[in-house]
Chain A
Amino acid sequence: MMTKAKLAMPVNLLEKSTAEPMKRPALDSKVTIEQLNFFYGPVQVLFDISLTMPSRRVTAFIGPSGCGKSTLLRTLNRMNDIIPHARLQGRVKIDGTDIYQTGMDVVRLRQRVGMIFQKSNPFPRSIFENVAYGLRINQLVRSRRELDERVEQALQQAALWDEVKDRLKESAFGLSGGQQQRLCIARALAIRPDVILMDEPASALDPIATQKIEELIVRLKEEYTVVIVTHNMQQAARVSDHTAFFWMGRLIEFDPTEKMFTKPAHQMTEDYITGRFG
């Protein structure tokens, strides 16, 4: 399938897709950001960010809108590459490999770092084909049976299988907003990434759908490293293990969530959390 020498990452995709994921030490660092500066043209939007996100944990980015948290999230799978005039300094390492080094394969990177967007964005195809898309283009399955299995598995992981198993052939647009978002999560899970980035995944959903997504996130950390951007502090408190607070493009505080919400180290964090600004 894939030659090992070509793989820029130390972790082999093949191993991950066949074997049960190995239990790694809990606070193994997965994603490391070092002295990151980010610019849109002449405007600097991120200033000297350094941050280490542990493996198999949920890390939340919070802060007022425009603080750069979404931009930072999108540097982790190089989604900002498609924005003209965007420029980055510093390093982003996943499993120790700098993903901005020359020769880095963006396609392969994005297979390992999945992303869920603010607004659900299913393709105008059937439910089944949506989940199968990543498997097909990346040629991750060898037979129709394997494809069916992995689609089902992904839908089950996304807690959607029971709701859609009888209508896999129907258009994805027929699903409710919350279901569409979970379909997008299933679509991302199907190709078995290591890291899942979520950009305010529940901001367009009603409270019940939001609750389902939150439960899902908590379960996902058993297997995946999750990074979530949210403007909802209660949500961050509910789902995350670590929280990073950003303000005006700067990282103000990064701590275990419990500490952040009980005794924040910074006055500014406390003001934000208690709703005094933002």
Chain B
Amino acid sequence: MSSLALRDNEQSGLMARWSRSRHRWSDVLFRRLTACFALSILILLVWMLITLALNARQALARFGWGFLWGRTWDPVREQFGALPFVYGTIVSSTLALCIAVPLSLGVAIFLSEHAPRGWENVVAFLVDTLAAIPSVIYGLWGIFILSPALRNYIEPWLASTFGFLPLFQGPPYGIGMLAGGIILAIMVLPIITAVSRDVLQAVPNTQREAALSLGATRWETTRVVLAHARAGLTGAVILGLGRAIGETMAVTMVIGNRPEISYSLFDPSYTIASVIANEFNEATYELYVQALIELGLILFLVTLIVNAVARLLVWSVTRRTREVQRV
């Protein structure tokens, strides 16, 4: 099968050359046309970057790098510091990963190593379903179901059990960093699970056989598989990070939207994406809008880098395996 696919690739390359040698103008035109559309994706990305930068140029010129360190966000006094949002984005994403990564890896291992045949597809379908639920509905659920539960049960319990930590101090609002982190965790679960599962399934079976034949138990075999897939699993987690950083609606609805830095996870916070969602339409003067677009530019650049790194890591595993299988 794989050797067949390889042959196909070679042949389509050959065929492309063959058609060029015939110089049939219609074929050349067709090829160029589709190439234009493919290139337009690349152009689009660059165009987006330039547009955002141009529309934030006054803010960029005025605040410089200090924008990132400024702690005060007060549009009334024309003070724009991004630090509370940067902090909120980093902490909420980290919290989300702390919750989601162990769960996702557990599910991915279950699906690729342990699940009985019939189960595998059903469970994978249900986990994918989680990915199909729109962000705004997670937000709705967060406001009316999750945050009351946090306020009435979970946060008081955390405060009484781990209250000595600065993370769990202060009044339990329900709405706040913890709610944001939990919602994000649920939202990035499916992508981390799906990519991890792909990566684990790409590990050649010969590795599992090698471990088993040496007297390894199932779990010990799984550890061999995990070691083999390490780069790809890291990629899956970083892909999840990219999603968590850019996620907007659900977080906006539950994180409390207060531009302050607080150690307690119970306190309201704010992320880059949610401040844009909340204040963009209310931004009353040019510099305010530009400051928000500059936040967008920062978010865009960070997610670009994060996604690029993740993609390369995932490819490094799945492609390498494909090559090995071809030999």
Could you list which residues of chain A lie within 8 angstroms of chain B, going by C-beta atoms?
Answer: 77, 79, 82, 84, 107-108, 110-111, 114-115, 117, 119, 121-125, 133-134, 137-138, 184, 187-188, 191
20 sampled A-B residue pairs with Cβ under 8 A: A79-B209, A82-B208, A82-B209, A107-B216, A108-B215, A110-B212, A110-B214, A111-B214, A111-B215, A117-B209, A117-B213, A122-B210, A123-B227, A124-B228, A125-B227, A133-B211, A137-B216, A188-B214, A191-B214, A191-B215
Instruction: Give Cα A107–Cα B219 distance, bound, in whole angstroms.
Output: 12
> Are A82 and B216 neighbours in the complex by a CB distance under 8 Å?
no
- Across the two chains, which residue of chain B brings its CB closest to A111? B215
Closest 10 CB pairs of A and B: A121-B206, A111-B215, A115-B213, A134-B214, A121-B210, A110-B215, A84-B117, A107-B215, A137-B220, A138-B215
Known: A84-B117, A137-B220. A121 touches B207 (CB 8 A): yes
Count of chain B residues with a beta carbon within 8 Å of a chain A beta carbon: 18
CB distance from B228 to the nearest CB of A (A): 6
Selected from A84, A108, A117, A137, the residue in CB contact (under 8 A) with B206 is A117
Least CB distance from A147 to B in Å reads: 15
Nearest to B208 among chain A residues (CB) is A82
Q: Could you say which residues of chain B place their CB within 8 Å of the CB of A123?
A: 207, 210-211, 224, 227-228
Contact string, B284-322, partner A, CB cutoff 8 A, digits 1/0?
000000000000000000000000000000000000000
Cross-chain contact A79 with B217 (CB below 8 angstroms): no
Do the beta carbons of B215 and A79 come within 8 Å of each other? no
Say whether A121 contacts B228, CB under 8 Å: no
CB distance from B155 to the nearest CB of A (A): 43
Q: Binding site of B, secondary structure by majority: helix, strand, loop or mixed?
A: helix
What would 14 more interface pairs be, CB under 8 Å, given A111-B215, A123-B227?
A: A77-B213, A82-B208, A114-B213, A114-B214, A115-B209, A115-B213, A121-B206, A123-B210, A123-B224, A124-B228, A125-B227, A134-B215, A184-B210, A187-B210
Q: Which residues of B contact A119 (CB under 8 A)?
A: 206
Taking the nearest CB of chain B, how far is it from the CB of A196, in angstroms? 10
Query: Is B163 interfacial (CB-CB < 8 Å)?
Result: no
Determine the distance from Cα of A110 to Cα of B217 in the docked complex, in whole angstroms.
10
Tell me how far the C-beta of B21 lies from the nearest C-beta in chain A, rounded to whole angstroms: 38
B204 at the interface (CB under 8 A from A): yes
Residues on the B chain within 8 Å of A133, using CB = 211, 214
Question: When the two chains form their complex, are residues A187 and B214 in contact, meaning their CB atoms are under 8 A apart?
Answer: yes
Q: With A79-B209, A82-B208 known to touch, is A124 a contact of B227 (CB < 8 Å)?
A: yes
Return A115 CB to nearest CB of chain B, in Å: 4
Is B212 a contact of A82 with CB atoms below 8 Å? Answer: yes
Per-residue A-contact encoding for B116-150, CB less than 8 Å = 1, 0 else: 01000000000000000000000000000000000
Instruction: Give per-residue flags for B171-209: 1 if the beta carbon is below 8 A from chain A beta carbons, else 0.
Output: 000000000000000000000000000000000101111
